[in-house]
Amino acid sequence: MAGVAEEKKKISAWRALGMALGDRKTAFMLLFGFASGLPFALFLGTLFAWLTEAEVDLETMGIFSLIGLAYAFQFLWSPLIDKVNIPLLRKLGRRKQWIVPMQLALGAILITMSLLEPRTQLGWFSLLAGIGAFASATQDIAINAWRIDVADERATIDILSTVYQMGYRLSSLVGGALGLIIAARIGWPETYAMMGAILLGVGFIGLWAPNAGEDAADVATESEKQVRALRHAGELAPAVRNRALALVSLLWAGAIGVVLTFMVMSMTYAPEDRPNPTDFTLNVGPWIIVATIILPALIAGWLASKKHRGEHLLAADEQPATGGAYVLDHLYRALVLPLVELVGRMGWSLVLIFAVVLTYRICDAIWGTFAYPFYLGELAYTNDDVAFASKFFGVGAIIAGLALGGLMLTAIGRMATLLIGGILAALTNLLYADMAIGGHNMQAFSDAIGFTYLIEQVPGIGDAGLAKLTITIAFENLAIGIAGAAYIAWLSSIVSKKFSAVQYALLSSLTLLVGTLGRGALGEMIEDQGYFDVFILTTWIGMGAAVLVCFEWWRQRRMKDAAGVIAPEAGQTAAPAE
């Protein structure tokens, strides 16, 4: 009977996967994922190739690295996406009112940039690129929130998260490697105009994307309802909330002020007086995270504890606030309430969740900086070798990993996939450790399965050395795909749909903290001990993250048992009753 039940479970998992992939939400998720990744590739990768060809000097190009700050600190304006409705556009839906205009704006910006000459019109060119990066980051906030909001039992958060990443990876290939190929044949202005036209098309099609079941009136009044609820009996007294709001506002205002000051100095000061973007991200970035996430989370915990103990609560409903009090309630709802809800719902479990967030993708967050120095410098591969192995073959391996991860999420559940993906991603560091000492094992494996013979057929660059690099990157990217599918689905499941934009942006931004703190230490370790020891260390870090995932799995199971709910995870299909 157990075998029959297992077979039914497999059949139902495949059926659930088919239903999810056939849902129109999934199709739009693929489209939105593509639209999310394309500007990132064009503004932070391909653009530098265009500037190089236009003979823009390296020092000037350094200013364009500031574009990355829009993505790194997008959580600073995420409360606007949750709270503010855009006049005339709010009828599109809570998220689409931000997604569609950002996509149309990005398309227009790319087309306008194609009409400019980077060297002689650098001021306008850089301004448009900066505005485009801000619009792209804003789009990302809204798309992530849309993905969480529209998820249901048919189009699950697991499948939507996987499909989103597939679209994102495909766009990085189109905007990156394929963009270089197209530009070599028709020119950079024409290439950027083509990419802009694509985004204009996506924005137009996005008008028909489904909403999360809300109508225009719901969208317009959701924020107002949450603000009015603050004055209901059992809520914290306004005086207590306002003290917390003052502290959080001070922290956020200080962080935003630091970022704006840095941007102004970088754009207006003489080249020799400009601050270094890398130093800013490394030294100041973590403190911004502390000021806008860690300390506000502690303040939210203090508020949640007061509410739990019944201290300073309203005894009866109060009249809705007016004037200045009304403004303060709205600010509280935007800045503090998302964290209070998260801390109040998760309690001390949030410490474990933060630990998983900080460690699960640590290898990816740090390793990217040193990948090319390892391939090109340490292993002495050529640019063509690395482009083939990592850009073409590697992207295909990631997409295959995402597809496999999506199937695993449906068949065995979110936490099992998160654990397996984490272990596989950690173990692939051992493959790089082998490459660091010659790659003899990877070469032998490639030879044994016939992969070396296949790569040797690639005209111009195919040889045995390229085969072992390609198969190493392929295994790593396959594992990253599985882990990434599970991680984004798990992180999305943590947040509340009421505050999805803010909570997801805040949690996902913690990866920045890991990257900025870890790169300097890892670089020193590479200099002192070499790559082999570094890969052994990152393997152990990855395995430690897998242990934390086990604790998180146990926590979730215990919470379900305590609630008396014996049900499969979201995204997992239960076997039919016998």
- pLDDT (0 to 100) of residue 12: 60
pLDDT > 90 in the chain, percent? 32
What is the sign of the dihedral through the CA atoms of 91, 96, 102 and 103? negative
**Which of the four pLDDT bands, split at 50, 70 and 90, describes residue 146?**
very high
Q: What is the largest CA-CA distance in the chain?
A: 79
pLDDT at 98 over 80: yes
- pLDDT (0 to 100) of residue 47: 82
pTM (two decimals): 0.82
pLDDT at 215 over 70: no
**Which of the four pLDDT bands, split at 50, 70 and 90, describes residue 59?**
low
Residue 474's nearest CA partner among 505, 492, 449 is 449
Residue 549's nearest CA partner among 504, 498, 500, 490 is 490
Give 365's contacts (C-beta < 8 A, 6+ positions apart): 511, 514, 515, 518
Give 442's contacts (C-beta < 8 A, 6+ positions apart): 431, 434, 435, 468, 471, 472
Residues facing 236 on adjacent strands: 313
Burial of 460 (0-12, 13-18, 19+ CB in 10 A): exposed
**Which of the four pLDDT bands, split at 50, 70 and 90, describes residue 214?**
low
Q: How many CA atoms lie within 13 A of 369 on its CB side?
A: 18
- pLDDT (0 to 100) of residue 574: 37
Report helix, strand or coil for 367.
helix
Distance CA(537)–CA(429), nearest Å, equals: 9
pLDDT at 571 over 60: no
Residue 515's nearest CA partner among 368, 398, 390 is 368
pLDDT at 501 over 90: no
Distance CA(142)–CA(358), nearest Å, equals: 23
- pLDDT (0 to 100) of residue 512: 66
Is the CB of residue 339 less than 8 Å from the CB of residue 296? yes
- pLDDT (0 to 100) of residue 414: 92
Least confident of 7-11, 57-61, 230-234: 7-11
pLDDT digits (tens, 9 = 90+) for 119-139: 788 778 888 888 898 999 999
pLDDT digits (tens, 9 = 90+) for 251-268: 989 988 888 888 777 766
pLDDT > 70 in the chain, percent? 86
- pLDDT (0 to 100) of residue 39: 93
Distance CA(467)–CA(570), nearest Å, equals: 40
Instruction: Quote the tokens at residue 493.
Output: 């499941």
Least confident of 102-106, 494-498, 523-527: 523-527
The matching CATH number, chosen from 1.25.40.10, 2.40.50.140, 3.30.1360.170, 1.20.1250.20, for 352-562 is: 1.20.1250.20
For all residues of the chain together, what is the average pLDDT? 83
**Which of the four pLDDT bands, split at 50, 70 and 90, describes residue 577?**
very low
User: DSSP string of 413-450?
Assistant: -HHHHHHHHHHHHHHHHHHHHHHHTT-HHHHHHHHHTT
pLDDT digits (tens, 9 = 90+) for 405-419: 998 998 899 999 999
pLDDT digits (tens, 9 = 90+) for 171-182: 988 888 788 888
Instruction: Quote the tokens at residue 549.
Output: 């995932």
Residue 58's nearest CA partner among 255, 257, 271 is 271
Instruction: Quote the tokens at residue 269.
Output: 């000061």
pLDDT at 367 over 80: no
Name the CATH superfamily for 10-214.
MFS general substrate transporter like domains (1.20.1250.20)
Distance CA(481)–CA(548), nearest Å, equals: 20
Instruction: Quote the tokens at residue 142.
Output: 């809204």
Degrees (nearest 5) of the Cα angle 409, 410, 414? 35
- pLDDT (0 to 100) of residue 511: 72
Residue 488 backbone zone (phi > 0: left; psi -120 to 50: alpha; other: beta): alpha
Report helix, strand or coil for 236.
strand
pLDDT at 217 over 60: no
Distance CA(179)–CA(433), nearest Å, equals: 33
Instruction: Quote the tokens at residue 273.
Output: 């007086």
Report helix, strand or coil for 462.
coil
Average pLDDT estimate for 217-223 = 56
Instruction: Quote the tokens at residue 420.
Output: 């397996």
- pLDDT (0 to 100) of residue 297: 87
pLDDT at 112 over 90: yes
Is the CB of residue 63 less than 8 Å from the CB of residue 43? no
Kindly report the backbone phi and psi dihedral angles of residue 361, in degrees, each rounded to the nearest multiple of 5, phi listed first.
-105, 25
Distance CA(433)–CA(439), nearest Å, equals: 8
User: DSSP string of 13-78?
Assistant: HHHHHHHHHTSHHHHHHHHHHHHHHHHHHIIIIIHHHHHHHTT--HHHHHHHTTHHHHHHTGGGGH
**Which of the four pLDDT bands, split at 50, 70 and 90, describes residue 278?**
low
Average pLDDT estimate for 281-299 = 84
Distances (CA, A) of 409 to 160, 488, 575: 11, 11, 15
- pLDDT (0 to 100) of residue 218: 52
Is the CB of residue 252 less than 8 Å from the CB of residue 362? no
